[in-house]
Amino acid sequence: MDKLIIRGGKPLHGTIRVSGSKNAALPILMACILPKGRIELTNVPRLADIRTTLKLLNILGCQTWFQDGTVTVQCDELNSHAPYELVKTMRASVLCLGPLLALLGEARVALPGGCAIGSRPVDLHLKGLEKMGAKFELAEGYINGTTNGLKGARIALDMPTVGGTEHLMMAAALADGETILENAAREPEVVDLANFLNACGARVTGHGTSVVRIQGVSRLKGCSYTVMPDRIEAGTYLAAAPITGGELRLENCPAAALDAVIMKMREMGVSIEPDGDSVIVKRDGELRCVDVSTTYYPGFPTDMQAQIMALMCLGKGAGMVEENIFENRFMHVMELARMGADIKLKGRTALVRGVDRLVGAPVMASDLRASASLVLAGLAAQGTTEVQRIYHLDRGYERIEEKLRAVGADIERAKE
């Protein structure tokens, strides 16, 4: 198992290019099950979750090739079984269920796993698919689904679930008739999936709004498509410059998808200026603590909560961080406290009081975004920080230590 060793206190200066979006690439790869013909995806990040997804596609009967950020997929003969050994490591694996039902009329998919950040049940996915004509049985840790043909339906989601919206869009693309998703998720990654489906010949409209319409078609075709940049990776590096007192240029930065994050960081005293498809970020005077409340897009993303908390640890004053999406997403708080942070927890709210400095310490990552917050804290801390269990980090950040080292960080990967 690997760990990161960070000798902090060095301001970062230079250019970082933002990689392709993990959260967009995963559902798009699952949607590659649907078309007949070859698909070429560019700007795909080299991550553990991407490799897991390609293994799953291979098990389902697809041929895949991955080289230099380009994935080629061809699915000619599918089988309907997604085994527990792969699905247990990544919740996005369940997204193959709907496409398999649409194409084969049956599917056997293990209940999913992933980060331990709270309950993310798939019941909303199954309820929507049932309205489209699927039937399910849960047995021995597997979802067994069958259908005599998916039909278009009007589906009002209980909450704007990203995975549920993506799942039902994929299934509806080949369903008979029109499907209307109400209270749909509006995240940029949902829009990216809809754009990919349309490039394959689907008829999706309204993506990016709370009502998405999908007119089913008889077949989809292969295409070439470029995955959007990763807004959460970009947000993490937006925090890396001010927390170290440095200045970074982020190339391929999806600034429009980061409005809530950029607004909050500017409120904290961070200068973020666009320059073409890049942004230039640096501290503008003293950092200030602010109040943050996570919510669905276009609000402040839960995936940036841990990172902004790390930044607030060195701000002046105090601020409240309220987590409204996942009930167990404050596991990084105790690790930040080991480094000298002053944070008090009460339920889903954390009170952060800024301190003058953080001090390096051995810390343990509990999930993907918690890992990123500990790396940020380590970059700013005096002394040496060891971030253990970074397999979480490798699920969502491409070559993070190489990118940070190139802009002046003293960081290395080592075996625990």
Question: What CA–CA distance (Å, rounded) separates 14 from 82?
Answer: 43
Question: What CA–CA distance (Å, rounded) separates 413 from 416?
Answer: 9
Question: What CA–CA distance (Å, rounded) separates 108 from 137?
Answer: 10
Given a cut of 60, is residue 120 above it in pLDDT? no
Question: Mean pLDDT across the stretch 91-107?
Answer: 91
Residue 84, pLDDT score = 76
Given a cut of 60, is residue 228 above it in pLDDT? yes
* Three-state secondary structure string covering the chain: CEEEEEECCCCCEEEEECCECHHHHHHHHHHCCCCECCEEEECCCCCHHHHHHHHHHHHCCCEEEEECCEEEEECCCCCCEECHHHHCCCHHHHHHHHHHHHHHCEEEEECCCCCCCCCCCCHHHHHHHHHCCEEEEEECCEEEEEECCCECCEEECCCCCHHHHHHHHHHHHCCECEEEEECCCCCHHHHHHHHHHHHCCCEEECECECEEEEECCCCCECCEEECCECHHHHHHHHHHHHHHCCEEEEECCCHHHHHHHHHHHHHHCEEEEEECCEEEEEECCCCECCCEEECCCCCECHHHHHHHHHHHCCCECEEEEECCCCCCCCCCHHHHHHCCCEEEEECCEEEEECCCCCECCEEECCCHHHHHHHHHHHHHCECEEEEECCHHHHCCCCCHHHHHHHCCCEEEEEEC
**Binding site annotation covers 121?**
yes
Q: Where do the domains of the chain lie, and which CATH numbers do they carry? A: 2-15+230-415 (3.65.10.10), 24-226 (3.65.10.10)
Residue 113, pLDDT score = 54
**Binding site annotation covers 120?**
yes
**Binding site annotation covers 122?**
yes
Question: What CA–CA distance (Å, rounded) separates 33 from 61?
Answer: 9
Question: What CA–CA distance (Å, rounded) separates 360 from 341?
Answer: 11
Share of the chain above pLDDT 70, in %: 97
pLDDT tens digit sequence for 123-148: 899 999 999 999 999 888 888 999 99
Residue 18, pLDDT score = 98
**Binding site annotation covers 158?**
no
Q: Which residues does the annotation mark as catalytic?
A: 115
Decide if 52 contacts 29 (C-beta within 8 A).
Answer: no
Residue 92, pLDDT score = 76
Given a cut of 70, is residue 121 above it in pLDDT? no
**Binding site annotation covers 232?**
no
**Binding site annotation covers 91?**
yes
Question: What CA–CA distance (Å, rounded) separates 320 from 331?
Answer: 16
Given a cut of 60, is residue 118 above it in pLDDT? no
Closest by alpha carbon to 175, among 195, 199, 155, 196?
155
**Binding site annotation covers 94?**
no
pLDDT tens digit sequence for 61-71: 999 999 999 99
Question: Mean pLDDT across the stretch 226-237?
Answer: 98
Question: What CA–CA distance (Å, rounded) separates 131 from 189?
Answer: 24
pLDDT tens digit sequence for 24-53: 999 999 999 999 999 999 999 999 889 989
Burial bucket for residue 209 (CB in 10 Å: 0-12, 13-18, 19+): exposed
**Binding site annotation covers 71?**
no
Q: Token digits for 318?
A: 């105090």
Decide if 106 contacts 146 (C-beta within 8 A).
Answer: yes
Confidence bin at 111 (pLDDT 50/70/90) = confident
Residue 133, pLDDT score = 97
Q: Which residues contact 357 (CB under 8 A, 6 or more apart)?
A: 314, 340, 381, 382
pLDDT tens digit sequence for 170-189: 999 999 999 999 999 999 99
Question: What CA–CA distance (Å, rounded) separates 93 from 82?
Answer: 8
Sign of CA dihedral 262, 281, 253, 409: negative
Task: Specify the higher pLDDT residue, 382 or 88.
Answer: 382
pLDDT tens digit sequence for 381-404: 999 999 999 998 998 899 999 999
Q: Residue 350: count other Cβ atoms within 10 Å of its Cβ.
A: 22
Question: Mean pLDDT across the stretch 247-264?
Answer: 97
Confidence bin at 116 (pLDDT 50/70/90) = very low
Q: Token digits for 263?
A: 């607004």
Residue-averaged pLDDT of the chain: 94
**Binding site annotation covers 303?**
yes
Question: Mean pLDDT across the stretch 290-317?
Answer: 97
Cα 77 from chain centre: 30
**Binding site annotation covers 50?**
no
Q: Token digits for 41?
A: 């995806």
Residue 110, pLDDT score = 84
Confidence bin at 117 (pLDDT 50/70/90) = very low
Question: Mean pLDDT across the stretch 20-27?
Answer: 96
pLDDT tens digit sequence for 334-379: 999 999 999 999 999 999 999 999 999 999 988 888 999 999 999 9
Residue 224, pLDDT score = 98
Q: Token digits for 102?
A: 């649409």
Q: Token digits for 63?
A: 């041929």
Residue 395, pLDDT score = 87
Given a cut of 60, is residue 312 above it in pLDDT? yes
